């Protein structure tokens, strides 16, 4: 019987499962190099941790690994129901709160090595966490795609640790009761965008007006495995900020309050690094479970339903 120790948390409603022990030996090196080994040789482990019957399509896994950069407190590989992620903002907030819960870190700034670069996460005295993301940029403005059944859709393409297609103009109401329709249209948009030769867009993000005082915008974010992000999506908010900066609509240091489809919030700001935008997002997470996953090879669904 294999045992995997995990701690679950949620960040604005979006769950993160941190693997504390029982993960595979990835041979060391940079987190990017360890990710390649994880992808090639341990996909069953990924599925066992996040997929049913132990998890669900919504769950994001965070495997703690040894960082190559010794100034980092941890290395992390993020993954979901269908594969691995580049960076994950809500997951980093969940990871920081989990490390604090374990007594491994105290309030202050902590560097974390992800497979796409080092991010700096700050645990604040009030329990909130800010994450200074990897450098991002807008790759394309108003890229128009013809989406079967929907017609022409225009959106920006941006990188912020993952690739996003960001749609501001559309007819759909960003309301929780429309989640099935929003999932369907976002999935169709993703397929159309990727058929047209943009960098492989993994997430589609729809924007609408904020519904609470002080909010600047509400979003609906569809993740690569077709689950929607319950949080405002840390990398998605970073991508939005990169686009706002490119349009001159948000100044350095100015704040942007992004609501999720649930109404949970991240507050973002940015600084410039040459042509690149370094976004920082702030949010909160809560630990809600400590558990040991048991993997019994006799169980036909030992490695998850995939
Ligand atoms: O917060 O960056 C994020 C994220 C990516 C996928 C789900 N959440």
Query: Are 78 and 162 spatial neighbours (Cβ–Cβ below 8 Å)?
Result: no
Is residue 86 in contact with ligand 1, taking CB distance under 6 Å? no
Q: Using omega within 30 degrees of 0 as the cis cutoff, is the peptide bond preceding 53 cis?
A: yes
Is residue 77 in contact with ligand 1, taking CB distance under 6 Å? no
Catalytic residue among 72, 84, 88, 223: 88
From the first residue on, what is the mean pLDDT of each consecutive set of 10 residues in the chain (306 residues)? 98 98 98 98 98 98 98 98 98 98 98 98 98 98 97 98 98 98 98 89 98 98 98 98 98 98 98 98 98 98 97
Is residue 238 in contact with ligand 1, taking CB distance under 6 Å? no
DSSP-derived pairing of the beta strands 217-222 and 256-259: parallel
Q: State residue 170's pLDDT score.
A: 98
Q: State residue 160's pLDDT score.
A: 98
Residue among 78, 117, 234, 258 whose CB has most ligand 1 atoms within 8 A, to mutate: 234
- Report CA-CA distances (Å) from 110 to 12, 75, 178, 277, 306: 21, 11, 38, 20, 35
DSSP characters over 176-190: GGGHHHHHHHHHHHH
Mean pLDDT of all residues in the chain? Answer: 98
| Other Cβ atoms closer than 10 A to 170 | 19
Is residue 264 in contact with ligand 1, taking CB distance under 6 Å? no
**88 is a catalytic site residue:** yes
Closest atom of ligand 1 to 88 CA is 2
DSSP characters over 247-297: TT-S-TT--EEEE-TTS-EEEEEEEEETTEEEEEEEE-EEEEEEEEEEE-T
Instruction: Report the predicted TM-score, pTM, of the whole model to 2 decimal places.
Output: 0.98
Q: State residue 200's pLDDT score.
A: 87
Give per-residue pLDDT as tens, 192-205.
999 997 778 999 99
Give the integer Cα–Cα distance in Å for 193 and 215. Answer: 29
Q: Classify residue 37 by its DSSP letter.
A: H
| Other Cβ atoms closer than 10 A to 282 | 20
Closest atom of ligand 1 to 232 CA is 1
| Other Cβ atoms closer than 10 A to 152 | 9
Atom 6 in ligand 1: which residue has the minimum CA distance? Answer: 88
Query: Are 259 and 210 spatial neighbours (Cβ–Cβ below 8 Å)?
Result: yes
Percent of the chain with pLDDT over 70: 100
Give per-residue pLDDT as tens, 40-75.
999 999 999 999 999 999 999 999 999 999 999 999
């Amino acid at each position: 019987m294999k045992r995997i120790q995990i701690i679950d948390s949620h960040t604005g409603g979006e769950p993160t499962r941190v693997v504390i022990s029982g993960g595979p030996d990835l041979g060391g090196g940079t987190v990017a190099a360890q990710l390649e080994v994880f992808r090639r040789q341990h996909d069953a482990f990924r599925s066992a941790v996040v997929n049913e019957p132990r998890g669900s399509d919504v769950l994001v896994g965070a495997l703690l690994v040894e960082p190559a950069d010794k100034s980092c407190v941890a290395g992390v590989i993020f993954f979901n129901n269908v594969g691995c992620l580049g960076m994950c903002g809500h997951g980093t907030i969940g990871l920081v709160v989990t490390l604090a819960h374990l007594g491994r870190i105290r309030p202050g700034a902590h560097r974390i090595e992800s497979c796409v670069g080092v991010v700096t996460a700050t645990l604040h005295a009030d329990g909130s966490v800010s994450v200074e993301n990897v450098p991002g940029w807008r790759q394309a403005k108003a890229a128009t795609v013809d989406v079967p059944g929907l017609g022409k859709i225009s959106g920006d393409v941006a990188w912020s640790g993952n690739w996003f297609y960001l749609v501001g103009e559309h007819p759909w109401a960003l309301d929780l009761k429309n989640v099935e329709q929003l999932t369907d249209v976002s999935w169709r948009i993703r397929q159309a965008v990727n058929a047209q030769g943009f960098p492989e867009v993994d997430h589609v993000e729809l924007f609408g007006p904020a519904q609470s005082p002080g909010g600047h915008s509400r979003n609906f974010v569809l993740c690569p495995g077709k689950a929607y992000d319950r949080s405002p999506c840390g990398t998605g908010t970073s991508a939005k900020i990169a686009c706002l900066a490119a349009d001159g609509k948000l100044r350095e240091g100015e704040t942007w309050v992004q609501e999720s489809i649930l109404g949970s919030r991240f507050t973002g700001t940015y600084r410039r690094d040459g042509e690149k935008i370094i976004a920082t997002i702030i949010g909160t997470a809560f630990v809600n479970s400590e558990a040991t996953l048991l993997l019994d090879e006799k169980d036909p669904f030992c490695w998850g339903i995939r």
